[in-house]
């Protein structure tokens, strides 16, 4: 196992710079997820760690070794891709053992490692099958097995689950998490799926346009996003954003009642966005004192089982809120949406940076 340290990593393709100086220190045994929209540089960053792309400048260390000039096979890493590319003409056994071909291990040691990996991944009874005789999830496990037998210091995953259907993806996600708990190997995992990031990561790295926007635990990026970008990207449905202006003692909104200026708001004035997560905005029977409250007209109701998403219009602004599934709502109902004032975020409209974070709880 090993730590991984990226220092001021820059990547240019011809004249286009796509990664603009990334610093990231990953601890030994940590599970770090790089997440962000398409084209933000996640795969390029991972491929530089793997040695599949050269750095334009900067330095990568795995453990205390600078690996920038090392071939991929000498970096003690194993990578699992989206198109896991297992060989159709080989059995599961041969496919897993293929990961050891470079290592030229004694036959007995090879057999032992293949058996161990198959055991952990639940493939023992399938070792003689060919990929065409496996389900998508089983094939994905073969690809992971092939990486596992090499006992790498670091696992690199690039969207390993995106070819699977939703149910299988949730199942494999759990298996990858268990695998990490069993092996304790350092993992760098790339995805554009914020749910995958939230559920798997010890720490999430939110990327945007070749830069790191925020690094934090899942709870930190969810509860205390550093910017509007992070606030919108993490969490589903996205955080409600209401444009307003900070005046002396309050925040004023078009067509909504003003809000008493929340404590901890540093900015003296100017345009802001008030952010409130659908999870924190509740359809309420009454109007508790001190809470942020808006009247709104119900437009669309989405029952999710345990609770219900309510899309409602406050003036001309659509807001998403949560209601208890036991509350009966109809389109056209006028309801009160309330949020605890501690659950409100305020962003500077010009810089899109957070001015006031949600209070810890």
Ligand X SMILES: Nc1ncnc2c1ncn2[C@@H]1O[C@H](COP(=O)(O)OP(=O)(O)OP(=O)(O)O)[C@@H](O)[C@H]1O
52 binds ligand X (CB under 6 A): no
- Alpha-carbon distance of 184 to 182, in angstroms, equals 6
DSSP code for 353: B
- Alpha-carbon distance of 274 to 355, in angstroms, equals 10
Q: What are phi and psi of 27, to 5 degrees?
A: -80, 160
Of 37 and 257, CB closest to Mg ion: 37
Of 85 and 103, CB closest to Mg ion: 85
43 binds ligand X (CB under 6 A): yes
Pick the closest to residue 46 from 106, 15, 4 (CA basis).
Answer: 4
- Alpha-carbon distance of 65 to 70, in angstroms, equals 10
Interacting residue with ligand X among 42, 75, 180, 356 (CB under 6 A): 42
- Please report how close the Cβ of residue 46 comes to ligand X at its closest, in angstroms: 8
According to CB under 6 A, which residues from 165 to 194 bind ligand X?
192
- Alpha-carbon distance of 236 to 258, in angstroms, equals 27
Helix/strand/coil for 310: strand
13 binds ligand X (CB under 6 A): yes
Residues 6+ apart with CB under 8 A from 88: 130, 131, 132
18 binds ligand X (CB under 6 A): yes
Interacting residue with Mg ion among 11, 43, 86, 160 (CB under 5 A): 43
The two three-digit tokens of residue 108, written as one number: 């007995």
Beta bridge partners of 73: none
Interacting residue with ligand X among 6, 33, 35, 44 (CB under 6 A): 44
Near ligand X by CB under 6 A, which window of 37-45, 59-67, 171-179, 224-232? 37-45
Interacting residue with ligand X among 12, 25, 39, 54 (CB under 6 A): 39
Binding track, positions 270-289, relative to ligand X; x by CB under 6 A: --------------------
186 binds Mg ion (CB under 5 A): no
Helix/strand/coil for 164: coil
160 binds ligand X (CB under 6 A): no
From the list Mg ion, ligand X, none, partner contacted by residue 38 (C-beta under 5 to 8 A by kind): ligand X
- Please report how close the Cβ of residue 16 comes to ligand X at its closest, in angstroms: 6
DSSP code for 239: P
Burial of 295 (0-12, 13-18, 19+ CB in 10 A): middle
Binding track, positions 191-230, relative to ligand X; x by CB under 6 A: -x--------------------------------------
Torsion angle of C-alpha atoms 256, 257, 263, 266, degrees rounded to 10: 50
Of 39 and 264, CB closest to ligand X: 39
Interacting residue with ligand X among 22, 24, 40, 176 (CB under 6 A): 40
Count of C-beta atoms within a 10 Å radius of residue 28:
14
Of 40 and 96, CB closest to ligand X: 40
Q: Do strands 203-208 and 31-35 pair parallel, antiparallel, or not at all (unpaired)?
A: parallel
- The residues binding ligand X (CB under 6 A) are 13, 18, 36, 38-44, 192
- The residues binding Mg ion (CB under 5 A) are 43
């Amino acid at each position: 196992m090993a730590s991984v340290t990226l220092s001021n990593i820059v990547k240019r393709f011809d004249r286009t710079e796509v990664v603009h100086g990334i610093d990231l220190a990953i601890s030994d045994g940590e599970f770090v997820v790089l997440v962000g929209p398409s084209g933000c540089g996640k795969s390029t960053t991972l491929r530089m760690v793997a040695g599949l792309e050269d750095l334009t400048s900067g330095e990568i260390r795995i453990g205390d070794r600078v690996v920038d000039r090392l071939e991929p096979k000498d970096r003690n890493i194993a990578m699992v891709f989206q198109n896991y590319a297992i060989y159709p003409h080989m059995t599961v056994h041969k496919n897993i053992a293929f990961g050891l071909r470079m290592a030229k291990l004694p036959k007995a040691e090879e057999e032992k490692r293949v058996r161990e990996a198959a055991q952990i991944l639940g493939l023992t009874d399938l070792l003689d099958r060919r990929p065409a005789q496996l389900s998508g999830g089983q094939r994905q496990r073969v690809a992971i097995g092939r990486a596992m037998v090499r006992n790498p210091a670091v696992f690199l995953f690039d969207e390993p689950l995106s070819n699977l259907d939703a149910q299988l993806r949730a199942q494999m996600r759990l298996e990858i998490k268990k695998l990490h708990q069993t092996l304790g190997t350092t993992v760098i995992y790339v995805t554009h799926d914020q749910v995958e990031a939230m559920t798997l990561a010890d720490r999430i790295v939110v990327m945007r346009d070749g830069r790191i926007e925020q690094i934090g635990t899942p709870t930190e990026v969810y509860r205390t996003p550093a910017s509007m970008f992070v606030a919108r990207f993490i969490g589903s449905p996205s955080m409600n954003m209401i444009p307003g202006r900070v005046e002396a003692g309050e925040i004023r909104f078009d067509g909504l009642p003003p809000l008493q200026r929340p404590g901890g708001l540093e900015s003296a004035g100017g345009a802001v966005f008030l952010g409130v997560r659908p999870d924190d905005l509740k359809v309420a029977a009454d109007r508790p004192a001190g809470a942020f409250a808006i009247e709104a007209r119900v437009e669309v109701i989405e029952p999710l089982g345990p609770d219900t998403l309510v899309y409602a219009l406050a003036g001309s602004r659509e807001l998403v809120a949560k209601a208890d599934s036991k509350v009966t709502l109809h389109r056209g109902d006028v309801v009160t949406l309330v949020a605890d004032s501690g659950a409100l975020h305020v962003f500077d409209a010009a810089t899109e940076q957070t001015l006031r974070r949600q209070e810890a709880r």
